[in-house]
Structure 1
Amino acid sequence: MNFRQLALKNIRGNWHQYGAFFWSSVFSVMIFYMYSSFIFHPDVINGKMPGASQIREIMIVCDYVIMIFSFFFILYSMSAFFKSRKKEFGLLTLFGMTKGQIRWMVLYENVIISILAISAGIGIGALFSKLFFMGLTQLLKVDSPIAFVIPLPALLFTAAGFFLLFLSITLLTLVKVGRSQIIDLLKASKQPKKPPVYSIWLALLAFCCLGAAYYMAYHVTIRSFIVYFLPVVFLTVLGTYFLYTQGSVFILGRLQKNKSFYYKQTNLLTVAQLVFKLKDNARLLFMVSILSAVVLSASGTVYVFLKDTRNQILENYPQSITFTEVGLNSHRVIDPEILKRTLKEENQEIEYEIQLAGIPVTADVLRFGKVTEVTLFLVSEEDYNVQAKRMNKQELSVDPGNAAYVYPYKEINDKIFKDDEQIQARLNGKIESIVVRQQLNGSPYPTQYEISNLLVMDKDAHKKLMSETPDEEKSVIYGYELVNWESSLEAVKKLKALVPESKEFNFTARVEQYQETKQLMSLTLFIGIFISFLFFIASGSMIYFKLFTEIEEDQEQFRALNRIGMSDEEMKRTISKQVGIIFFLPMLVGILHTVFAMKALGNILVSNIWSYAAVVLLIFVVMQTVYYLAARRSYIKRILQGAAQ
């Protein structure tokens, strides 16, 4: 028997371990190839595909992420395989095989697996790249479908990149084979384990770190996000690490002292083994928990932005079409009558229209210890309340001589003016003293213009100032809400063609912003789904590897328990609990982290996003459950086979 035959036989004999690693690698190669096939697509490189350049840049970043993640995943997998086969290597050494021959055998095995994984990944990737291109065609809204091609650079880049990755990690792993002594290899699975110890102070530190991180995430706002972000991430990572290395032993130790629970049925065996398993696997569970939290938070954020896009656009663009003009009845941007006629020609019905006339003024405001000049738009209380009522916003009641300030964005809760602050507004070449009594956040008028900062005055005072101000120094906000605004893109394009090209003319349409944002979020989600699946499969595979790394030790324990009368059903129940905790504990910790991340996102958006976030979490739970059931079935089968011997 030569090395190649021996390597093939070893792969077949250890397929229960290699299987999860092989298919995870295949999935990585498949995604990498599909992204690369778009990156190197002739139409993308030649610029024949509108809007593809930005997507190409995103996919290049994703390829880097896949390669970096694959490096650590394969490195961990190879290390796990080596640890599980130490006894096998010791026996081969005892029978006369040299360390150099063992290295060649392992090299053959890994080269065979890498070639098979790369070939299968590229083959499946090429098979599904047509569907991938069809999905991108719909999202990019290009006129003709993206042509199905198998770019040679993408094929070579994927094959060479992953082969070098497999080879380099294999060579790193072989160093361990050379350094190990025969006695260490043979006794690897017989090494006695020391009772797990913990520090009560580090366990408390874990709970304090997580509690502080959750508290900050719960109360974060758009203004405090930058300040809180790094501390929250640091405390969450530190708290999670000590939760597994210290907190898990502390909690299980408390359960062991609870006699009514500990001596009930098979709880004694389950808890006693979990004390060692959780301590031994603390780093793995820590990494899986953080990885799950990152994937869930990223996926949830993109999905929330996609589903909440309409609400956010409606908030920032209260009217379907808006524009501002300097001067009453100047109509330098577009004549309202021409606009209405054009909309009618395009079968667009106007639900309502607004014309908010006011006076732009400037005032000095102290912000962050610095005096800043801001532009305010003086409008009438009566005009403001008409639109506020229509938009279900808070109406204002302003006393004579006073004013209320309306900040455009509801997400920001900063107080621009102090209560009862007197400002000096500059208008008509003179100074007008105005007392600001209150502030509201979130305007029923457009938020994207310089005159979006409204200063609402009582009707009589505003009328007096309007009469004293020349018409050419006044401004008007025009707004038109359409019945079917989501289908108004062609009408908007026709209207924009009538607007003179000038930076001073502000003409915006909700449908354009909505389509652009929705397309970007849809593309990001479409691309990110594959990365999320990759991370999910890889994290589940790492837990799977760890279970089978320790399977010989578990087989011996259950073999002994079987001899003293433990039934197969009791063993299945015990194994199910242990495997379930190993699989679901990092999932629950990751979900808990994600819940607070979504709470922070909801605070920033000032929106209820839980229905959207729940969809992502539910999908993850279902997928993890399926993975658990498959791993549990395979693990129980192997344990019972070993226990029966």
Structure 2
Amino acid sequence: MKFRQLAAKNVRGNWHQYSAFFLSSVFSVAIFYIYAAFIFHPDVVNGHIEAASKVRQGMILCEYIIMIFSFFFVLYSMSAFVKSRKKEFGLFSLFGMTSGQIRRMVLYENIVISLLAIVTGIAFGALFSKLFFMALAELLDVSNPIRFTLPAKALLLTGVGFFVLFLVITLFTLFQIGRSQIIDLLKASKKPKTPPIASKWLVLLSIVCIGAGYYMAYNMNMMNVMIYMLPILFLVVVGTYFLFTQASVSIFRRLQRRTPFYYKGTNLMTVSQLVFKIKDNARILFMVSIMSAVILTASGTFYVFFQGSKAQLLDNFPQTIAFFERGLNTHNVVDPEKVRQILKEDGVQVEYELKLAGITAAFPIVGSRYSKETNALIVPESDYNKYAALMKRQREKLDIANGHAVYVYPYKEMKMQLVETGVPLKMKANESELELTIDKQVNGAIAFPRFEATELLVVDDEQYKAIMQGVPEDKQVAVYGFELQKWESAGETAAKIAALVPEKQNHFFENRVASYKETMQLASLTLFIGLFVSFLFFIASGSMIYFKLFTELEEDREQFRALTRIGMTKQEISKTVTTQIAIVFYVPCVVGIVHTMFAMKALGNLLFTSAMLYALVVIGIYIVMQSVYFLAARRSYLNKIVKGYAD
């Protein structure tokens, strides 16, 4: 039998170990090729596809992430294969095969698997690239569909890149083969294991680190995010490591001391094996838990960004069309009558129309590190209450006494007090001075167009008339707003109105529809591309557990074969195996979920919204996918175990 034939036969014989690695590699290659096919698409390179340049940059970043991730994933997989086949290599050595010949055989095997994975991955990538292009065309809202093509550069980069990656890692892992003696290789799986011992101080350190990280994440905000971010990451990673290497051993040791539980049914067998399994697999479980947290947090963040984009846009652009004028009747930006005429001609219904006129007042503020003074538009309380009711943003009407005012700051995320309340403040308005006592500061209660004066000073109507008396019209300012019904589909109408605005006045004009299209396009693309990479990480994390299970297959098979001789039934073995696999699969999943919940709480604090509902949706999907992976791994593992002691 030639070496190549032996290598091919070994691949078929060890396919249960290679299958998860092979499928994960195929998925990595397919995703890499799909992104590369878009990056090197002739229409994208030549700029014929509108808005494709931003997407291209994001996909190039994803390509780097996929390649770096694939390097470490393949490196771990190769190492796991070598470890699981030590007995096989020992037998080959016993039959006269040299270390060089064993390395050569493994090299052939890995080249076969690599070529199969690359060819299959590119084939699936090419097959699904058309669907990918169709989805992108829809998200980019391009007029013509993106044509199907097989860019030579994409094929070459994917094929050569992954082959070099597989080859380098294969050569690296070959150094592990041939260093051990034959007797060590043959008895690798039969070496007695010493009972694991946990340090109570390291268990305490784990609790303290995770607790401190969670506390900081729970209390993170815009003011301390730069201070807390790295310490949280460090504390949670260190705490998680000792959670699996130390605390897990301590927990199972305690279960062994609870005799009513320990000696009930198959618990003795399950717990006693798990003490060693969890300790042996601690690093893998730690890595999978961190990967789970990364997957869930990244996916949750993408989902929050996608779902929250529209709400944030409505906050930033309270009216569909809005503009700011200097002078009541100058209409240097656009004539409101022309706006009404275009809306009528296009049959667009107006939900409400807004007009606020006043003057800006300059007065001191105390809560800002960047400025000692701010400008606010003075408006009457009757107008404020009317438009607040129309926008459904203010619960209670303002009732302000003469000589007093309410300061309205439009950004709800700002929590600090910016103005002194209860004391008279001197203000400068239209080159004259006035004195007002600010009763309170209201943050984010109502949103008006944000131009030169983004803040408001709401005063009594009589006070407003007194302030405005003698102010010429050309010194006054006016804010106009038009909220349209079904504004998402009013893009053409909004564009007609925007075309009336002189170029030098564009910064005084807002068009929510145009911003909505761009924002939702970016959010959809980010979610679409990010979920592909997150799914790749998910496949790899499950595969790592799968690899680890099958590296211990022979040892577990021997143990269960011995247990059947003393009367353990197949049902009891199935229950024990299922419990052990479930713990190995779901414990890092649960730890990752808890990490994610605190990460999403921190994200909610930063965005001033609740991200938990979005996080629960992502977590629910993740649990379902993890369960599918668990059921597949359990079935495959049980079949191998049962076949082992049935023979």
Corresponding residue for 1:102? 102
Once residues 107 and 14 of structure 1 are traced to their aligned partners in structure 2, the CA distance between those partners, rounded to angstroms, is: 15
Native 8 Å contact 1:325 1:505 kept in 2: no
Runs of 4+ in 1 over 4 A off after TM superposition: 367-371
Matched, 1:163 2:167: no
Mapped partners of 1:599, 1:421: distance in 2:
38
Give the equivalent residue in structure 1 for 2:476. Answer: 474
Q: How far is the alpha carbon of 1:152 from its aligned partner?
A: 0.3
Secondary structure of the residue aligned to 2:354 is: strand
Q: CA deviation at 1:447?
A: 5.4
Does residue 41 of structure 2 align to residue 62 of structure 1? no
1:546 maps to 2:534: no
State the partner residue of 1:510.
512
Equivalent AA in structure 2 for residue 126 of structure 1: A
**Given residue 287 of structure 2, which amino acid in structure 1 is its aligned partner?**
M
Between the aligned partners of 1:274 and 1:250, the Cα distance in structure 2 is 12
Name the SS for the 2:615 alignment partner: helix
User: Is residue 445–residue 452 contact of structure 1 (8 Å, CA) maintained in 2?
Assistant: no
Name the CA distance, whole Å, in 2 between partners of 1:424 and 1:322: 31
Question: What is residue 32 of structure 2 aligned with on the other side?
Answer: 32
Partner of 1:183: 183
> What are the residue-to-residue correspondences of 1:108-507 with 2, within 5 Å?
108-367=108-367, 371-390=371-390, 391-394=392-395, 395-420=397-422, 422-446=424-448, 448-503=450-505, 505-507=507-509
Q: Is the 8 A contact 1:209 1:239 kept in 2?
A: yes
Q: Which runs of 5+ in 1 are unaligned?
A: none
AA aligned opposite 1:463: K
Which stretch has the larger CA shift, 54-63 or 85-94? Answer: 85-94
Q: 1:626 aligns with which of 625, 628, 638?
A: 628
Q: In the alignment, is the contact (CA less than 8 A) between 2:47 and 2:53 conserved in 1?
A: yes
Looking at structure 2, the residues matched to 397 and 275 of structure 1 have their Cα atoms a distance apart, in angstroms, of 69
Distance 2:568 2:437 in 1: 83
Moved more, 332-341 or 612-621: 612-621
Mind listing any 5+ residue stretches in structure 2 that lack a counterpart? none
Counterpart contact for 2:323–2:509, Cα < 8 Å: yes
Rounded to whole Å, the distance in 2 between the matches of 1:292 and 1:364 is 49
- Cross-structure match for 1:582: 584
Q: Which amino acid aligns with 2:243?
A: L
**Sequence identity, in percent?**
57
Residue 178 of structure 2: SS of its match in structure 1? helix
Kept after mapping to 2: 8 A contact 1:28/1:66: yes
Q: Secondary structure at the match of 1:293?
A: helix
How far did residue 516 of structure 1 move?
1.1
CA distance in 2, matches of 1:227, 1:439: 28
Q: Which moved more, 1:392-401 or 1:623-632?
A: 392-401
- Residues 542 and 629, structure 2, Cα contact 8 Å, conserved in 1: yes
Distance 1:225 1:487, change over 3 A: same
Name the amino acid aligned to 2:539: I
More displaced stretch, 54-63 vs 291-300: 291-300
Contact 2:203 2:243 in 1 (8 A): yes
Judge which range, 562-571 or 313-322, deviates more: 313-322
Distance 2:248 2:242 in 1: 9
Cα pair 1:376 1:453 within 8 Å, conserved = yes
1:361–1:425 CA contact under 8 A, matched in 2: yes
C-alpha spacing 1:285/1:318, structure 2 compared with 1 (3 Å): same
Contact 1:324-1:505 within 8 A present in 2 as well: no
Cross-structure match for 2:646: 644
Mapped partners of 1:438, 1:251: distance in 2? 54
| CA offsets 1:137-186 (integer angstroms, 9 cap, x no match) | 11111111101100000000000100000000001001111323323222
Q: 1:389–1:220: structure 2 CA closer, same or farther, 3 Å change rule?
A: farther
- Equivalent residue letter for 1:336: P
Equivalent-residue separation in structure 1 for 2:450 and 2:202 (angstroms): 50
User: Which string of whole-angstrom CA distances, capped at 9 and with x for unpartnered residues, describes residues 242-291 of structure 1?
Assistant: 11111111222222222222222111211111111111111111111111
Query: Quick check: 1:409–1:447 contact (8 Å CA) kept in 2?
Result: no
Given that residues 289 and 590 in structure 1 are in contact (C-alpha distance below 8 angstroms), is that contact kept between their aligned partners in structure 2?
A: yes
Q: Distance in 1 between matches of 2:121 and 2:324?
A: 55
Q: Does the C-alpha gap of structure 1 residues 179 and 28 become closer, same or farther in structure 2, counting only changes over 3 Å?
A: same
Structure 2: distance between partners of 1:334 and 1:98: 86
**Whole-Å separation in 2 of the counterparts to 1:183 and 1:432:** 96
Q: For 1:177, what is the secondary structure of its paired residue?
A: coil
Say if 1:20 and 1:544, in contact at 8 Å, map to a contact too: yes
* 134 and 198 in structure 1: CA distance in 2 versus 1, 3 angstrom threshold: same
Residue equivalent to 1:52:
52
Q: CA deviation at 1:213?
A: 2.1
TM-score of the aligned structures, taking structure 2 as reference length: 0.97
Moved more, 574-583 or 454-463: 454-463
1:558 matches 2:560: yes
Query: 8 Å contact 1:408–1:447 — kept in the other structure?
Result: no
Deviates most, 493-502 or 208-217 = 208-217
SS at match of 1:450: coil
Residue identity matched to 2:473: D
**Any conservation in 1 of the 2:29–2:117 contact (CA below 8 Å)?**
yes
Q: Hey, what's the Cα distance between the residues in 1 that align with 2:233 and 2:424? A: 42
2:7 alignment counterpart: 7
CA deviations on 1:20-51 (whole Å, 9 max, x unpaired) are: 00010000000000000000000111111110
**Code of the aligned partner of 1:617:** I
Cα distance in 2 for partners of 1:336, 1:213 equals 54
Write out per-residue CA displacement over residues 365-423 of structure 1, whole angstroms, 9 at most, x where no aligned residue: 34455653322222222221222223232433333322222111112212212443554
Q: How far does residue 479 in structure 1 lie from its aligned partner after superposition?
A: 0.9
How far apart, CA to CA, are the structure 2 residues paired with 1:239 and 1:399? Answer: 57
**Higher alpha-carbon deviation: 460-469 or 441-450:** 441-450
CA distance 1:533–1:504, shift in 2 (3 Å): closer
What is the distance in 1 between the residues matched to 2:449 and 2:2? 75
Q: Equivalents in 2 of 1:446, 1:165: separation in Å?
A: 56
Q: What amino acid is the match of 1:315?
A: D
Counterpart residue number, 2:534: 532
What do residues 465-523 of structure 1 show as CA deviations (whole Å, max 9, x unaligned)?
A: 11143322221111111111111111011111011111574111222222111111111
CA-to-aligned-CA distance 1:531-562 (integer Å, 9 cap, x gap):
11111111100000000001111111111111
Mean Cα displacement is larger for which, 507-516 or 463-472?
463-472
Given residue 393 of structure 2, which amino acid in structure 1 is its aligned partner? Answer: N
Q: Deviation of residue 320 (structure 1)? A: 1.5
d(CA) in 2 for partners of 1:49, 1:617: 35
2:226, 2:369 → 1: CA distance? 19
Is 1:333–1:505's contact at 8 Å kept on the other side of the alignment?
A: no
Judged with a 3 Å threshold, the aligned counterparts in structure 2 of structure 1 residues 576 and 306 are, in CA distance, closer, same or farther, namely same
TM-score (norm: length of structure 1): 0.97
C-alpha distance in structure 1 between counterparts of 2:276 and 2:107, whole Å: 33
